[in-house]
A and B are shown apart, each in its own frame.
Chain A
Amino acid sequence: MLRLLKIEFDKLKYNKASRILILTYFILLVLIALFAVIKFDIGPVKFHLAEMGIFNFPYIWHFNTFIAGLLKFFLLLVIVSMVSNEYSNKTLKQNLIDGLSKKEFILSKFYTVLAFAFISTIFVFLVSLVLGLFYSSFIESSIIFTDLEYLIAFFVKLVGFFAFGLFLGVLIKRSAFAVATMIVLFLVEFISYSVVSAYNRGTDLADNIYQFLPFKSLWNLIDQPFSRLSAVKAVANQVGEDLSYDYAVHWYEIAIVLCWAALFIFLSYRLLKMRDL
């Protein structure tokens, strides 16, 4: 495993575009901290995000994993290009001739996906911990370490998303087209979901079906955290809107995404195995 990771690490390390994207991603993760300094102070309207409780433990785990989840697109570009470049440089062929098996090739990419997801999770954990210790109203360890399942969900979300990107990279062989395909698939899923739920207003039909589809299942892992803010809740109560919402991370949501990830990796391998290079 270490050998395969080292091989892949070498390939990424020397690639300028990948280096920049990875760096940008991790810098942006740190910049989540910048939410802390969002402060409006216009006469009677005082708005300081950090003081609205977004950095309160354990809510911060939910909020930060959600925001960090939005940044995964940067790493997607790296994942997709690290596969498609192997095709365009024909280095995949050379790797196989040099004695890498097709299985090892896919595994080296998959381990890299796991490594990215893991490092991101650690990163988000550390950034959130520091931010929380600075701004949280409660810093008892029992409170700090509740709701850590959001970090697990975050890890699984990244693995699922990157595995999808990996598969599209293998399938389509061109980074730009692979990313475009992903966007199209997202739109197809999103629009059809909107249509189905519009026709079945008042029922859970759309959600029940779409929870099994790739993008919706990824989305379901970490629900939007905004309506959970006490400030938002207060406003909602005033206008009479009921915002009771299930924010928890459910085991079946994780299971669905893990199934997709496994399927994508398996299909990538099958595709590579079938193909003549």
Chain B
Amino acid sequence: MLNLFFSISATKTNHILEPILTINNLTKKFGYLTAVKDLSFTINKGNVYGILGPNGSGKSTTLGIVLNVVNKTAGDFHWFDGNTSTHNALKQVGAIIERPNFYPYMTAEQNLKLVCRIKGVDHSKIAEKLEVVGLLERKDHKFKTYSLGMKQRLAIASALLNDPEILILDEPTNGLDPQGIHQIRKIIKEIAANGTTILLASHLLDEVEKVCTHVVVLRKGEKLYSGRVDEMINSHGFFELKAEQHQDLLSLLEADNSFGKIKVEDELITAFLNAPMSASEFNKLMFSKGILLSHLVKRKESLEEQFLQLTDKLN
């Protein structure tokens, strides 16, 4: 089984790193199955993190542990500076895990009032947060009459009630229709833009790529990599090329040390760089060799490609 874990921190640089969640050597065993193995990482304030992995990879288990619903087998974790109990720390955390869980017989407003009571927040926030997720006019409808998309949006409103230090989202778009997915992503982006720390778990790579920038990659609960998404593998990117003189171009590329792997698909040549080189530099070089390019694109690997390369190396 492949356990994949990404943690991504954002571009916003902090002067002082203020930890929000610190995990040390965390292990969780379900009988013989080790879902999380000796896992350590830190989440710092102001960053946007993502957790990425296929279904059943243990990312929900890790979130469950830090959210006080799953018992750890070994290791430890603490919220903030480590001086508050987990349940008190959770009052400053907003979290949605898997499906939205509310009392079906209560209206949106009644449900949120209950959350306010638990978190010790004033009721005045309710209208404001319902507005953020566009549910204000449905506040007096019972939760059970909501569509899945609305339920998920209510869950986000609920998680935001306390203006949390960190927002934890586990598979927030799972099971939603395209419109619902779009709405949720828009809301998440708005929240991220306000400087709220976000921890996003998803099995959808493009979802993580669209919102987050730093990663910690884990496999079977073990950390493979931590850092920025674009530095995940040592890559200088690659060129996609087309030219009339197809064979000449190919032999030139093969002779050049700057290029590693070269892939050919019909007319299109993909050349991976071993050393940094800009597109204009390359164009100039080709021109001096008498090759006129009809197509030149410089690209970096997508998160998915990087991710596959990283895990391929270990297989």
Residue of chain A at shortest CB distance from B95: A97
Please give the distance in Å from B99's CB to the nearest CB on chain A.
Answer: 7
Say yes or no for A201: interface residue by CB 8 A criterion.
no
Given known contacts A276-B64, A276-B71, is B103 in contact with A91 (CB within 8 Å)? Answer: yes
Given known contacts A14-B105, A93-B97, is B70 in contact with A276 (CB within 8 Å)? Answer: yes
Please give the distance in Å from B77's CB to the nearest CB on chain A.
Answer: 15
Interface SS of chain A: helix
Please give the distance in Å from B162's CB to the nearest CB on chain A.
Answer: 8
Chain A hits for B102, CB < 8 A: 89, 91, 94
Question: A11 and B69: CB pair below 8 A?
Answer: no
Question: B91 and A276: CB pair below 8 A?
Answer: no
Residue of chain B at shortest CB distance from A14: B106
Chain A hits for B95, CB < 8 A: 97
Question: B113 and A10: CB pair below 8 A?
Answer: yes
Given known contacts A89-B101, A89-B104, is B68 in contact with A96 (CB within 8 Å)? Answer: yes
Given known contacts A7-B118, A14-B105, A90-B99, is B87 in contact with A101 (CB within 8 Å)? Answer: yes
Residue of chain A at shortest CB distance from B155: A94
Q: Which of A79-119 contact B (CB under 8 A)?
A: 89-91, 93-102, 104
Say yes or no for B176: interface residue by CB 8 A criterion.
no
Chain A hits for B115, CB < 8 A: 98
Residue of chain A at shortest CB distance from B161: A98
Say yes or no for A244: interface residue by CB 8 A criterion.
no
Contact with A along B195-208 (1 / 0, CB 8 A): 00000000000000
Nearest 4 A/B pairs, CB to CB: A99-B91, A101-B87, A94-B101, A99-B90
Beyond contacts A10-B114, A93-B101: 11 other A-B pairs, Cβ-Cβ < 8 A, are A89-B104, A91-B103, A96-B67, A97-B67, A97-B97, A98-B118, A101-B68, A101-B86, A102-B68, A104-B87, A276-B71
What are 30 A-B interface contacts by the 8 Å CB criterion?
Answer: A3-B120, A7-B117, A7-B118, A10-B113, A10-B114, A11-B114, A15-B105, A89-B102, A91-B101, A93-B97, A93-B101, A95-B118, A96-B67, A96-B68, A96-B87, A98-B90, A98-B115, A98-B119, A98-B158, A99-B90, A99-B91, A99-B93, A99-B118, A100-B87, A101-B68, A101-B85, A101-B86, A101-B87, A274-B71, A277-B64
